[in-house]
């Protein structure tokens, strides 16, 4: 028994000396975060000075690849935006816990944690679009000019928009209502220039826009909702601008003014007539 115990202690001390028994913690909460194809892999916890992280990623069934910025790093995020090509493939990543940069180890395998599967074309979130609006001369048509959100991807030194990537599969969902109403209607457009026709003349409308990609799963079809923008109709009826109480007050004021002006006018006219009459009676007769 003493001999077996001694042999076990010798083996344990040998493993510790070689560094193979150093316990590197596994990464936890490995998560993909992606908006407009800006794709980050994140995890926890932040490493101590005793170890670091390396990220490997691949399409299922293919060789692992590495981003040189994410090799033996002391941060907990790796930007893989430009590496996940083609966009319609699906990827997984492994976060390895390794010795710090500049140190060596006799180990050939290190603890690792595998990410969920991520498919950029299907899974990246679509950010909020911006748009401007123009009221047409007929005052019944409003045109929305939507700016397709830019992505984190470039081609021939040109930044790609979501329209460049999704092409005809990209639509826009418009939600609109009268400015003083809460009832909302929706409209779908395949174009970034959207004409809203047959609106009520003389009414102002408010609009929101979001990207809509119907080929995606239901929870990924809609992008982030835009800010609200409203039209200002300069031809609003005076009866819609002012309340009935304002009209009643205005009419009453006009009647009061007229009630004062009429007696004053009559009094002044009588005085003037009397003065003219007195002047005529006091004038001497001319010699014939």
Is there a cis peptide before residue 45, judged by omega within 30 degrees of 0?
yes
pLDDT for residue 184: 93
Domain boundaries, the chain: 24-123, 130-233
Contact 17, 100 (CB under 8 A): no
Cα–Cα nearest to 220, from 99, 90, 124: 124
**H or E segment and range at residue 268:** helix 244-281
Q: Which two tokens stand for residue 187?
A: 């409209």
Note whether 24-123 and 130-233 share their fold. yes
Q: How far apart are the first and last CA of the chain?
A: 170
What pTM was computed for the model?
0.72
Superfamily of domain 24-123: Immunoglobulins (2.60.40.10)
From residue 260, give the alpha-carbon distance in Å to each of 119, 122, 131: 82, 77, 56
Question: Of 281 and 223, which is predicted with more confidence?
Answer: 223
DSSP assignment of 43-88: EE----TT-EEEEEEEETTS--EE-GGGSSBSSSEEE-TTT--STT
**Sheet of 193-196, strand order:** 130-135, 142-147, 193-196
CA 278/CA 283 separation, integer angstroms: 9
CATH 2.60.40.10 matches 130-233: yes
**H or E segment and range at residue 271:** helix 244-281
pLDDT tens digits along 252-284: 777 777 777 777 777 776 777 676 666 655 555
**Which distant-in-sequence residues (6+ apart) come within 8 Å of 162 by Cβ?**
36, 126, 148, 149, 150, 151, 170, 211
Q: Residue 127 above 90 pLDDT?
A: yes
Question: Of 117 and 254, which is predicted with more confidence?
Answer: 117
- In the chain, the percentage of residues whose pLDDT exceeds 70 is 79
pLDDT tens digits along 4-62: 444 333 333 334 434 444 578 999 999 999 999 999 999 999 999 999 999 999 997 78
pLDDT for residue 1: 42
Q: Which two tokens stand for residue 128?
A: 């909020």
DSSP letter assigned to residue 138:
T
């Amino acid at each position: 028994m003493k001999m077996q115990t001694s042999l076990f202690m010798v083996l344990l001390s040998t493993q510790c000396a070689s560094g193979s028994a150093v316990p590197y913690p596994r990464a936890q909460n490995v998560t993909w975060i992606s908006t407009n194809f800006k794709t980050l892999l994140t995890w926890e916890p932040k490493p101590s000075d005793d170890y670091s992280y390396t990220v490997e990623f691949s399409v299922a069934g293919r060789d692992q690849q590495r981003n040189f910025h994410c090799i033996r790093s002391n941060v907990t995020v790796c930007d893989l935006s430009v590496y996940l090509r083609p966009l319609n493939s699906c990827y997984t990543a492994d976060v390895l816990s390794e010795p710090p940069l500049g140190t060596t180890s006799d180990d050939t395998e290190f603890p690792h944690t595998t990410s969920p599967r991520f498919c950029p074309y299907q899974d990246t979130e679509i950010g909020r679009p911006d748009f401007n609006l123009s009221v047409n001369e007929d005052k019944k048509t409003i045109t929305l000019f939507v700016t397709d959100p830019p992505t984190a991807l470039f081609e021939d030194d040109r930044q790609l928009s979501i329209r460049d990537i999704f092409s005809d599969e990209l639509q826009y969902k418009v939600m609109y209502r009268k400015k003083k109403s809460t009832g909302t209607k929706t409209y779908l457009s395949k174009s970034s220039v959207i004409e809203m026709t047959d609106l009520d003349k003389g009414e102002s409308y408010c609009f929101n826009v979001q990207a809509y990609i119907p080929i995606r799963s239901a929870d990924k079809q809609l992008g982030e909702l835009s800010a609200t923008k409203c039209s200002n109709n300069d031809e609003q009826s005076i009866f819609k601008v002012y309340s009935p109480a304002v009209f009643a007050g205005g009419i009453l004021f006009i009647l009061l003014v007229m009630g004062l002006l009429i007696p004053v006018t009559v009094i002044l006219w009588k005085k003037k007539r009397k003065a003219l009459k007195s002047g005529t009676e006091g004038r001497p007769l001319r010699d014939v």
